[in-house]
């Protein structure tokens, strides 16, 4: 028993070469993850070269697998169309407050993504797009009265907001695709006043239409009466006694040919034939 206690059991020695190999393998695995990056669908990347001049402004990295140096950094952007919603209270041309609900459809342009990253960065929606939509909306709404905004100018307002927003964002390397005015809300008292005014204008237009229609009908009847009167004057001027006698004779001859013709006596006080009794 004592002999067993006196035995020295030492663990097997691990060779230094194995340790180095394992450490190297682990480092290689870590570096492989660091050196590779996959860009997903609807995304694009901008490369930052730590020892090579910073942002690579010449290339945009598309979807798929990419190998990069471990000391560089690939920044990934969403390049799909995105929606920026904005609700604000703006002033009309006469100083009345109007609530406007606007949506902007925009996206980071693939071609100019390095410039966007260099100048604005990943937060461009909040730092560039939202302020641009707000500024353009205030500018455009301020040109119109509440009546125009509520009734007839909504499409024009939408087009103008889009044009002004696009003009701003084109200089900031952001692609603006569309502006939609989802809702325009006026104070209830103002809305009621505008609706009453529009109703009165519609009734006035309808009354003017009826007057114009009646006027044209009267003109038509007058022209018709004048035409008939002119025709009667021409006919009266052309009906001499000789023509009347000739027409009477022609009519008498036609009656004489009929099986139901009467006895014809020539010579009344006007020289016209008379028809007396049955045949």
Q: pTM score, two decimals?
A: 0.59
pLDDT of residue 243: 64
> CA-CA distance, 195 to 151, in Å (whole number)?
9
CA 244 to chain centre: 76
pLDDT of residue 174: 96
> Of 155 and 136, which is predicted with more confidence?
136
Q: Average pLDDT over the chain, rounded to whole?
A: 79
Mean pLDDT of 241-250: 66
- Biggest CA–CA distance in the chain, Å, is 183
Domains detected in the chain: 15-78 (no CATH), 82-186 (3.30.479.30), 246-278 (no CATH)
Dihedral sign computed on CA atoms, order 116, 120, 122, 123: negative
pLDDT of residue 97: 85
pLDDT of residue 178: 95
Q: What is the per-residue pLDDT across 89-118, written as a single tens digit (0 to 9) for each?
A: 988 888 888 889 999 999 999 999 999 999
- Give residues with Cβ within 8 angstroms of 59, minimum separation 6: 47, 114
DSSP, res 271: S
pLDDT of residue 149: 80
Mean pLDDT of 71-96: 91
Q: Is the pLDDT score of 131 beyond 90?
A: yes
> Which H or E run includes 175?
strand 175-185
Residue 205 C-beta-side C-alpha neighbours within 13 Å: 6
Q: What is the per-residue pLDDT across 186-215, written as a single tens digit (0 to 9) for each?
A: 767 666 666 667 666 666 777 777 778 888
The token pair that represents 111 in the structure block? 């071609």
> CA-CA distance, 63 to 218, in Å (whole number)?
77
> CA-CA distance, 272 to 264, in Å (whole number)?
10
> CA-CA distance, 137 to 238, in Å (whole number)?
79
Q: Is the pLDDT score of 39 beyond 80?
A: yes
Name the most confidently modeled range: 8-17, 143-152, 237-246.
Answer: 143-152
Mean pLDDT of 162-178: 95
SS3 at position 269? coil
Least confident of 25-29, 47-51, 201-205, 243-247: 25-29
pLDDT of residue 37: 86
> CA-CA distance, 191 to 97, in Å (whole number)?
12
């Amino acid at each position: 028993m004592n002999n067993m206690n006196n035995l020295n059991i030492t663990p097997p020695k691990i060779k230094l070469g194995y340790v180095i190999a394992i450490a190297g393998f682990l480092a290689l695995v870590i570096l492989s993850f660091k050196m590779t990056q996959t860009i997903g669908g609807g995304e694009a990347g901008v490369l930052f070269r730590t020892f090579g001049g910073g942002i690579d402004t010449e290339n945009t990295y598309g979807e798929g697998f990419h190998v990069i140096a471990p000391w560089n950094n690939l920044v990934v952007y969403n390049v799909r169309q995105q929606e920026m919603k904005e609700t604000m209270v703006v002033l009309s041309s006469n100083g009345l407050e109007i609530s406007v609900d606007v949506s902007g459809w925009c996206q980071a342009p693939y071609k100019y993504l390095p410039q966007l990253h260099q100048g604005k960065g990943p937060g461009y929606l909040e730092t560039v797009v939202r302020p641009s939509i707000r500024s353009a909306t205030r500018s455009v709404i301020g040109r119109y009265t509440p009546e125009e905004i509520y009734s007839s100018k909504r499409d024009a307002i939408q087009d103008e907001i889009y044009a002004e927003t696009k003009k701003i964002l084109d200089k900031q390397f952001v692609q603006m695709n569309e502006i939609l005015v989802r809702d325009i809300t006026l104070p209830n008292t103002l809305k009621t006043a505008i609706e009453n005014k529009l109703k009165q204008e519609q009734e006035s237009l309808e009354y003017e239409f009826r007057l114009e229609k009646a006027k044209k009908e009267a003109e038509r009847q007058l022209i018709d009466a004048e035409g008939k009167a002119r025709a009667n004057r021409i006919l009266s001027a052309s009906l001499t006694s000789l023509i009347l006698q000739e027409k009477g004779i022609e009519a008498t001859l036609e009656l004489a040919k009929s099986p139901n013709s009467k006895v014809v006596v020539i010579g009344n006080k006007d020289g016209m034939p008379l028809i007396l009794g049955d045949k």
